[in-house]
């Protein structure tokens, strides 16, 4: 049997990361055996490539063409970046180039936080997700966040800043874990920003016990020259909820991959997202929802607004196990193409092994509606403003369900700022 060999560019890109691991491994914190196993997996499989079904539409060639260095001890003045953070009155954990910066952080009171080592968590699957293997091999730091049973821990910001202070691209692979004990609640607002070129490859695993609710609002607003390849695992027990919204608008190449497992009866996951992409950006939102228990519910409303020569990808897989009767799964992917050069690739996948389920999915692709545009303009609204109104309206089914006021305001602000840079 011939082993499938990844294209040589991807193989070489993988070698650079492996060389880094070989040089660093003696100094890396955490369980060396776990890392060694991940390194073996990564050595055998390399970076994911277009020959794999899950990576057909997202090609990592630009990533391997970039040379990455080890982050230096961060001396960078993060003032300008911090000033761009949305004003949300909440405790925050700030990572700079993947390392926790206590001096910039305000730890929460109601949740317990540990930093200084990768928070490996129980859920990640380095054996099947190559970017997770890479993360496991090279993770240096991360936040472990735990909320005790029955506690409402309010809002917590998890901030990643990528710097380019030394003019050399860096790669960082933080590893976070969130644990909500039974009945606990937390709103985690994750914000990724930066400047220059870098690779941010975070993995976050969230364990949501019975009746607990994690609201996860994510703003991916990385620097124009950055790569963002993130993986989230959420495991939801009986009656628990993983309620998430991701805004994918930064980086030159971004993939936000989410694996949600509804493990107990009545568990629910909302994986809403919006991708706003322009120029030569490539954005990918990939989800896998596993309904493993009866009466579980999943909702995915994904909106894409693409201009220039941007490429958007949505892949959404819903797996319904034999035991998961009365599953209610809904998935909708819609794209607004604002220029002839923009492109969307959409791949819904349903794998259903139970017989009494309700699963629906749909996709639409279109342009701004000429009649709607004219209606607004005929009322005196200038064309640029009319277009902005219609784009915002298109996003509303994904944005409006966000009940966290400050979080929604921050996301709205990011959408408005994005639109202003398009109109300018």
State which residue, 16 or 384, has the beta carbon closest to another protein.
384
State which residue, 176 or 387, has the beta carbon closest to another protein.
387
Question: Smallest gap, in angstroms, from Cβ of residue 382 to another protein?
Answer: 5
Q: Is 396 in the site for another protein (CB under 8 A)?
A: yes
Question: Smallest gap, in angstroms, from Cβ of residue 392 to another protein?
Answer: 7
Question: Dihedral of CA 316/398/123/239: which sign?
Answer: negative
Q: Is 412 in the site for another protein (CB under 8 A)?
A: no
State which residue, 383 or 420, has the beta carbon closest to another protein.
383
247 by Cβ neighbours in 10 Å (0-12 / 13-18 / 19+) ranks as buried
CA angle 223/226/231 to nearest 5° reads 110
Token couple for 282: 């490539």
Contact 312, 335 (CB under 8 A): yes
State which residue, 151 or 368, has the beta carbon closest to another protein.
368
Token couple for 172: 């960082």
Question: Smallest gap, in angstroms, from Cβ of residue 376 to another protein?
Answer: 8
Q: Is 408 in the site for another protein (CB under 8 A)?
A: no
Considering only residues 346 to 375 of the shown chain, the ones binding another protein according to CB under 8 A are: 370-372, 374-375
| Binding-site string for another protein from residue 227 to residue 266, where x marks contact by CB under 8 A and - marks none | ----------------------------------------
State which residue, 150 or 382, has the beta carbon closest to another protein.
382
Strands (E), 1-143: 92-96, 99-100, 112-114
Number of residues engaging another protein in binding (CB under 8 A) = 23
H or E stretch at 141: none
Binding region for another protein (CB under 8 A) out of 143-151, 201-209, 285-293, 377-385: 377-385
State which residue, 149 or 393, has the beta carbon closest to another protein.
393
Residue with tokens 């609640």: 185
Q: Is 421 in the site for another protein (CB under 8 A)?
A: no
Q: Is 338 in the site for another protein (CB under 8 A)?
A: no
Residue with tokens 């009945």: 183
Question: Smallest gap, in angstroms, from Cβ of residue 378 to another protein?
Answer: 5
Distance CA 95, CA 83 (A): 15
SS3 state of residue 402: coil
Question: Smallest gap, in angstroms, from Cβ of residue 386 to another protein?
Answer: 8
Distance CA 328, CA 397 (A): 19
Q: Is 405 in the site for another protein (CB under 8 A)?
A: no
| Binding-site string for another protein from residue 3 to residue 32, where x marks contact by CB under 8 A and - marks none | ------------------------------
Cα distance from N-terminal residue to C-terminal residue, the chain: 56
Distance CA 409, CA 383 (A): 25
Q: In 10 A of CB 210, how many CB atoms?
A: 18
Question: Smallest gap, in angstroms, from Cβ of residue 369 to another protein?
Answer: 8
Q: Is 392 in the site for another protein (CB under 8 A)?
A: yes
Distance CA 226, CA 378 (A): 41
Q: Is 379 in the site for another protein (CB under 8 A)?
A: yes
Q: Is 376 in the site for another protein (CB under 8 A)?
A: yes
Binding region for another protein (CB under 8 A) out of 31-39, 267-275, 287-295, 391-399: 391-399
Question: Smallest gap, in angstroms, from Cβ of residue 379 to another protein?
Answer: 4
State which residue, 234 or 336, has the beta carbon closest to another protein.
336
* Beta-sheet pairing, 343-352 with 99-100: unpaired
Phi, psi of 343 (to 5 degrees): -145, 145
Token couple for 408: 């929604």
Among 383, 403, 413, 423, binds another protein (CB under 8 A): 383
State which residue, 78 or 276, has the beta carbon closest to another protein.
276
Q: Which residues contact 349 (CB under 8 A, 6 or more apart)?
A: 315, 316, 317, 318
Binding region for another protein (CB under 8 A) out of 206-214, 231-239, 317-325, 386-394: 386-394
Nearest-Å Rg of the Cα atoms of the chain is 21
Question: Smallest gap, in angstroms, from Cβ of residue 364 to another protein?
Answer: 13
CA angle 70/47/278 to nearest 5° reads 80
Token couple for 7: 């294209």
Binding site for another protein (CB under 8 A): 370-372, 374-383, 385-386, 389-390, 392-397
């Amino acid at each position: 049997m011939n082993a499938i060999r990844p294209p040589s560019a991807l193989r070489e890109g993988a070698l650079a990361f492996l060389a880094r691991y070989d040089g660093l491994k003696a100094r890396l914190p955490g369980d060396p055996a776990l890392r060694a196993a991940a390194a073996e997996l990564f050595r055998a499989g390399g970076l994911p490539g277009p020959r794999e079904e899950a990576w057909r539409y997202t090609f990592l060639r630009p990533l391997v063409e970039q040379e990455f260095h080890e982050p230096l001890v961060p001396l960078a003045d993060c003032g300008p970046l911090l000033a761009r953070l949305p004003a949300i009155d909440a405790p925050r954990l700030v990572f700079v180039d993947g390392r926790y910066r206590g001096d910039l952080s305000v730890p929460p009171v109601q949740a317990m936080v540990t930093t200084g080592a990768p928070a490996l968590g129980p859920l990640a699957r380095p054996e099947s997700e190559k970017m997770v293997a890479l993360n496991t091999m090279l993770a240096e730091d991360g936040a472990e966040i735990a909320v005790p049973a029955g506690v409402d821990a309010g809002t917590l910001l998890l901030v990643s800043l990528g710097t380019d202070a030394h003019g050399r691209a860096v790669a960082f692979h933080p590893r976070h874990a969130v644990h909500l004990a039974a009945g606990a609640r937390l709103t985690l607002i994750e914000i990724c920003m930066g400047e220059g070129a870098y690779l941010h490859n975070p993995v976050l695993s969230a364990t949501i016990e019975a009746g607990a609710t994690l609201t996860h609002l994510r703003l991916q607003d990385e620097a124009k020259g950055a790569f963002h390849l993130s993986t989230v695992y959420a495991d939801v027990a009986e009656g628990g909820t993983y309620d998430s919204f991701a805004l994918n608008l930064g980086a030159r190449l971004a993939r936000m991959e989410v694996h949600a497992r509804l493990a107990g009866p009545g568990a629910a996951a909302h994986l809403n997202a919006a991708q706003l992409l322009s120029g030569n950006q490539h954005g990918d939102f990939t989800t896998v929802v596993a309904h493993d228990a009866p009466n579980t519910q999943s909702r995915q409303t994904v909106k894409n607004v693409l201009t220039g020569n941007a490429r958007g990808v949505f892949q959404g897989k819903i797996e319904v196990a034999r035991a998961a009767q009365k599953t209610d799964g809904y998935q909708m992917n819609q794209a607004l193409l604002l220029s002839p050069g923009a492109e969307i690739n959409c791949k819904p996948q349903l794998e259903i092994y139970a017989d009494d389920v309700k699963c629906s999915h749909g996709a639409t692709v279109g342009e701004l509606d000429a009649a709607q545009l004219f209606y607004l303009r005929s009322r005196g609204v200038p064309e640029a403003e009319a277009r902005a109104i219609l784009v915002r309206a298109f996003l509303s089914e994904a944005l409006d369900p966000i009940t966290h006021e400050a979080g929604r305001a921050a996301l709205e602000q990011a959408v408005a700022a994005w639109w202003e840079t398009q109109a300018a």
